[in-house]
Amino acid sequence: MEGGDSESDDELQGLRRRFGTEGLEWDPKSCSKETLHVWHWLVDADANLKAARHINDKLRRQHDEEKEQLEAYTEHLRGKCEERVRELEDETRGLKEDLEALLAGTQAVGNMLQTQGLHDVAQGSLGEQIAYVLVERSKLIEELEISRKTPASDREKDFMGQLIKVSTDYELAKRSKDEYESQLAGMRDRVELLERASRQLEMDNETLAYKLEGLEEVNLPEQVYGVATMTLGHPVFIAYLCQRVPSHDLILRDVVFNGGSHPVIVVEKIVSL
């Protein structure tokens, strides 16, 4: 009983201090069992609150530590990701350069095959082109082995046959070249003749123009001198010349009517009459 009374006194002292702390008046006479029971709840709640705050602080510190660790790990992952991205970019750039080099090589091989007349093979893929080269290599190796095993006389016959064929092709090509050069020389001669004839025609036209100026000075009729093309075949010019040609000069009259190869000379002769 004494222990129970001592505990009750301690609780009452605790109530008094708490009331004083809260600024309330304490009346020991009004204290009852219900008040003590509520006080027990309050003490338990206060203890639980302190424990909860302690746990909360501990959890907050743990959370902060975990947050720092997570941020550090996140930063580490970010660095790793950036490094990996750079590596992938470098790898992609290297693969792109390798691809471009491969495409350039494929294009070069295709061009060489095109040059050799292997258009079908040049249009195929790189694998097909390599397969074709390997097949041709195998054929060449087989032919080389056969040539090694073939007696020297047979090889000499084959070589002579190939040599004769090459010589024949060379002679045919040389003959075709000589014929072409001969035709070209003939064409050049014809061009020179045409140029000479053109220059002679220009000189004849200049002479004719000069003689026509002389005809103008001897007062040729307007309808004769004004003709754009002054030839012996023009009717007006024929009529005028017939008036000047004597009737007994049959040769000159025949030239006037039938034309001639030297109209300037004919005009000069008639004008001099």
Express each pLDDT in 122-140 by its tens digit.
777 767 777 777 788 888 8
Are 268 and 235 members of one domain? yes
Give me the helix-helix angle, 33-115 and 126-149, nearest 10°. Answer: 40
Are 36 and 64 members of one domain? yes
Q: Show which of 169, 190, 217 is a domain's final residue.
A: 217
Domain assignment of residue 20, yes or no: no
Domain assignment of residue 48, yes or no: yes
Are 174 and 191 members of one domain? yes
Are 161 and 134 members of one domain? no
Domain assignment of residue 24, yes or no: no
Are 213 and 225 members of one domain? no
pLDDT, one tens digit per residue, over 74-99 is 999 999 999 999 999 999 999 999 88
Tell me the whole-structure pTM to 2 decimals.
0.32
Phi (first) and psi of residue 87, to 5 degrees: -60, -40
Domain enclosing residue 38, as ranges:
32-89
Are 37 and 54 members of one domain? yes
Query: Is residue 62 pLDDT above 90, yes or no?
Result: yes
User: Is residue 24 helix, strand or coil?
Assistant: coil
Domain count for the chain: 4
Are 136 and 176 members of one domain? no
